A and B are shown apart, each in its own frame.
Chain A
């Protein structure tokens, strides 16, 4: 009970902090110091206008389609490769350097290369989402495999389990908490990736919209879109966290699993 009230008090503090920030924003905005800094009320008005405009909804649809096409296969393939890397030394030795390289690269620098390969269209957007998400799922899944209790593997063997059974019924469930942590991060990164790639093209999707609004100095509308993207990222990652808690009832009691690798 005591903890609950403390938690509530902390929540209250967060809300107060947020409100104070918004008030400060409003006040400074009204000083009209810079066109890049409109008052909060103006952005709010733009949110109401922009979030329901056909142009925005069309862009949102485009971005969601790209994510829906690229993210699921990236996750599935990432989990599969991650399982193999975590389980088999040889696969680990073969692929580890490659994957670590990709994880430490500044991916933004690779986007022009992707456009060179896949052209100025959806192909490049999909490829960007994949390179932003695939490797993070791979390393987190592989790290999850390493948390497998070797005694459970031995127990399964003692009951006659073959490699397929060990993989499906022991390794995969052991790896799931970290795999989900990887998927959570990948979801956030997929949203970032789609915006970045669409900005390069400048015509389609929310990234295109951001690009065009920026070019037209429509600052309030720009902020309205950026705000949406931020909130959308938060909500998506929270949705994955909820799915995680549903899928992993045995770790509900424990803290949410911290990812093994967040990536750059």
Chain B
């Protein structure tokens, strides 16, 4: 279980003051749960996720995973980044094995161990290609394979499909669902898309902004396994319009058309 306990985070501003990015954030994520975080831009979603990853320290509060407080990156967690963040100078197999290499395997060992994960994301034939030769969707599959390769209990995903076009995005959502059904990992998934949050998640945290805090945590009472058909069910539509209602109030433009 991941417990976020009264987390706060302040940043120093250029003029010497402090900026409160997150305040009193508390929630918990159960084992094997698919948990999404949605909220307006700048509300601290990335900061929160990086804290769970151990990359950013909270200025107050604590994050506790299975009873032990987070003090840095750990073998139990792996991150998938919005802009993929692949090594442009390394081929795909080395990229997928990079996490393993950072954890002490030799280059050769990590490349060998990476192979099945390349298969798992459907990129078997691309082992010796370079990232710039792949489409955005394929690059993000590499990012996902790299995270899966270190066999984490917890997958942290920061708007992983945000940079992809609508069709690719939908395909990636389905693939992620399939992989998650098999892998059974805890996932914390940051997104801007209400549709994506509802389709993928067991629960959705809606965040408020200035400073970032918890607005509400929604249950997604849709049966699994899910397919495209759930997107047209009344429950799904009720959920997304509820999220839209919540978020619209925060963004402060009541006339804005609903995205997607």
Interface residues of A (CB under 8 A from B): 149, 151-152, 154-161, 165, 169-170, 173-174, 176, 248-250, 253
Cβ distance B166 to chain A, nearest Cβ, rounded Å: 25
Most buried by B among A160, A161, A176, A249: A160
Chain B residues, Cβ within 8 Å of A248? 89
The answer to whether residues A157 and B55 also contact, given A151-B85, A173-B87 and a CB cut-off of 8 A, is: yes
B89 near A159 with CB under 8 A, answer: no
B53 at the interface (CB under 8 A from A): yes
Cβ distance B142 to chain A, nearest Cβ, rounded Å: 12
Q: How large is the interface on B (under 10, 10 to 19, 20 to 34, 35 or more residues)?
A: 20 to 34
Interface residues of B (CB under 8 A from A): 53-55, 73-75, 77-79, 81, 83, 85, 87-90, 98-99, 101-103, 130-132, 150
CA distance A157 to B85 in the complex (A): 12
The answer to whether residues A176 and B89 also contact, given A151-B81, A158-B73, A250-B130 and a CB cut-off of 8 A, is: yes
Cβ distance B24 to chain A, nearest Cβ, rounded Å: 26
B73 near A157 with CB under 8 A, answer: yes
Q: How many inter-chain contacts with C-beta < 8 Å in the A-B complex?
A: 56
B102 near A165 with CB under 8 A, answer: yes
Cβ distance A138 to chain B, nearest Cβ, rounded Å: 22
Most buried by A among B53, B99, B102, B103: B102
Chain B residues, Cβ within 8 Å of A149? 85
Chain A residues, Cβ within 8 Å of B83? 151
Cβ distance B219 to chain A, nearest Cβ, rounded Å: 30
CA distance A176 to B89 in the complex (A): 10
A160 near B102 with CB under 8 A, answer: yes
Cβ distance B126 to chain A, nearest Cβ, rounded Å: 15
Whose C-beta in chain B lies nearest to the C-beta of A162? B102
Chain B interface secondary structure, helix, strand, loop or mixed? Answer: loop
The answer to whether residues A159 and B150 also contact, given A250-B132, A253-B132 and a CB cut-off of 8 A, is: yes
CA distance A154 to B90 in the complex (A): 17
Cβ distance B163 to chain A, nearest Cβ, rounded Å: 13
Cβ distance A148 to chain B, nearest Cβ, rounded Å: 11
Q: List 12 A-B contacts (CB under 8 A).
A: A149-B85, A158-B54, A158-B55, A159-B73, A159-B102, A160-B99, A160-B103, A165-B101, A169-B101, A176-B89, A248-B89, A250-B89
Cβ distance B176 to chain A, nearest Cβ, rounded Å: 19
Cβ distance A180 to chain B, nearest Cβ, rounded Å: 12
Cβ distance B149 to chain A, nearest Cβ, rounded Å: 10
Chain A residues, Cβ within 8 Å of B101? 165, 169
Whose C-beta in chain B lies nearest to the C-beta of A153? B85
Q: Residue B79 contacts which of A155, A170, A249 (CB distance < 8 angstroms)?
A: A155
Chain A residues, Cβ within 8 Å of B75? 160
Chain A residues, Cβ within 8 Å of B89? 173-174, 176, 248, 250
Chain B residues, Cβ within 8 Å of A173? 87, 89-90
A250 near B88 with CB under 8 A, answer: yes
The answer to whether residues A152 and B73 also contact, given A158-B53, A158-B79, A250-B130 and a CB cut-off of 8 A, is: no
